[in-house]
Structure 1
Amino acid sequence: MSGLLAGRRVLVTGVLLDSSIAFHTARLAQEEGAEVLLTGFGRLSLVERVARRLPKPAPVIELDVTDEEHLTRLPERIGEYTDGLDGIVHSIAFAPPDALGGTFLDTPWSSVATAVEVSAYSLKSLTRSCLPLFGPRGGSVVGLTFDSTVAWPAYDWMGVAKAALESTSRYLARDVGPRGVRCNLVAAGPIRTMAATSIPGFSRFRDIWAERAPLGWDVTDPEPTGRAVVALLSDWFPRTTGEVVHVDGGVHAMGA
């Protein structure tokens, strides 16, 4: 079997619909030779139905990243399908409605804590749970983020959570590097997924990218982001870790 990920075993989280970045990452990973497993939370029947739309049906494991029992049992559940892992894709984020939409000053700590735990701390939780499954050759953890170097309209505490995610990735890179495991993030431009369209004012992001992306940007096309994730999962970045790779048409580099 040929391909960038030939013979690799990859766990992809966060697949809900076939419009998601996670779904297209899983599809591309399979096309590049990987054995793919998915995790889902809540509507598992929906995730299982979407999994059947991949080039090869993929098993779905239930995972709530805030549930310690789920995390403890995850290696055992993965072991039902494969004997180890070479890569993890973290595509998990959530913020309660009152943490988004322009009410930054009024958001209670309980909502902020949820956003940070699910969207940032979970990168550590997931990696730590799966670390024993990486073999002597190590592997790669890749998470998805949204540029957190500036304050965006309506993004509010999710922006703070993404900043925490980026810092978490750097510390993970430090601590898992000696085991040969890399940890990087891909900062994607706005993609019209179910999660994105639940953000109040999402259309403003679309307008910003339409005006400022020197390479142009298609909010309906997750594939460029998925390709970057697959590349970081592969051996083509053997000494890159703690990095944030932007796939946003170049908006992050433009002043105005």
Structure 2
Amino acid sequence: MMGILDGKTILVAGVFNESSIAFTTAAIAQEQGANVILTGFGRRRRLTEAVAKRLPVTAPVVEFDATEQDDVEALHDQLTPLCDRLDGVVHCISASYPTVVGEHFPTATWDDVSHSFRVSAYSFQSLVHGCDAFLAPGASVVGCTLDASVAWPVYGWAGVAKAAYESVNQYLALHLAPRNIRCNLVAAGPIDSYTMKAIDGIDTINGMWESRAPLTWDRSDSEPVAKTLIALLSDWLPATTGEVIHADGGFHAVAY
């Protein structure tokens, strides 16, 4: 039986451990027939290479540091021996310093805030730019966000960066559309990932999704979010671009 990504080559950025949305997305992509390539960077690349061996099929890892322009320019040469095209790109890259989240929002400095924008928003464009020559007509670019239409008390400037990320998604959708390349985001509920656990005060929202989401929510299970990303990578949503699709158990839709 063929999978919905059969024969496609997908680049997944942001895999650090098995609890991440990116890892689950990479695993399901392989199960659905895709050839998967991962990115890692610096000393953390060893973590990515280790976790790559826990996928159904060990995936190659290329270097990509979202804060290094040299890595953007070098991505083409790293991909050349691995594939002749990319049918999908998954962006799960996000980071903010503790000094810019939660109660630190009013006092955060630009130097610290700019890091959030570069890693959590601009890197979406830079990853796509690095992959551009490989993106095939009909390809799909996807990323993962936390709904930035409202202010989250614990998120601070990380939330503002996510709002910028969602705007970058719209502009990428505009500029990639003439090549029939789609660009969308999935707004996820909280998952117990490395990035989420690193947010100071994140424990204050424990139980919020679980009690309010109409479909219920399990923060230990990244599969519902990953499957939504997989659907967007497939050919089944050919007219959807510039969109933010919620995979949060319906939390965003209720007011109680």
Q: Do both proteins adopt the same fold according to a TM-score greater than 0.5, normalized to the shorter chain?
A: yes
SS in 1 for 2:205: helix
Give TM-score, length-normalised by structure 2: 0.97
Give the AA of the match of 2:74: R
Measured after TM superposition, the shift of residue 200 of structure 1 is 1.5
Q: Matches of 2:39 and 2:130 in 1, distance apart?
A: 14
Offset from partner CA, 1:167-208 (integer Å, 9 cap, x none):
000011000110111000000000001111111122223321
1:145-224 pair list within 5 angstroms = 145-224=145-224
Instruction: State which drifts further: 101-110 or 182-191.
Output: 101-110
Give TM-score, length-normalised by structure 1: 0.97
Q: Matches of 2:3 and 2:83 in 1, distance apart?
A: 19
Q: Matches of 2:238 and 2:205 in 1, distance apart?
A: 33
Q: Matches of 2:88 and 2:80 in 1, distance apart?
A: 14
SS in 2 for 1:192: coil
Offset from partner CA, 1:72-120 (integer Å, 9 cap, x none):
1101101121111010000000111101131110000111111001100
1:1-256 pair list within 5 angstroms = 2-42=2-42, 43-135=44-136, 137-256=137-256
Offset from partner CA, 1:114-170 (integer Å, 9 cap, x none):
1001100111111122111023x3300000000111111210000000000000000
Give the AA of the match of 1:84: R
CA RMSD in angstroms comes to 1.0
List, as ranges, runs of 4+ consecutive aligned residues in structure 1 with deviation greater than 4 Å: none
Give the AA of the match of 1:187: A
- Unaligned runs of 5+ residues in structure 2 are none
SS in 2 for 1:174: helix
Percent identity among equivalent residues?
A: 50
Change over 3 Å in CA distance of 1:138–1:75 after alignment to 2: farther
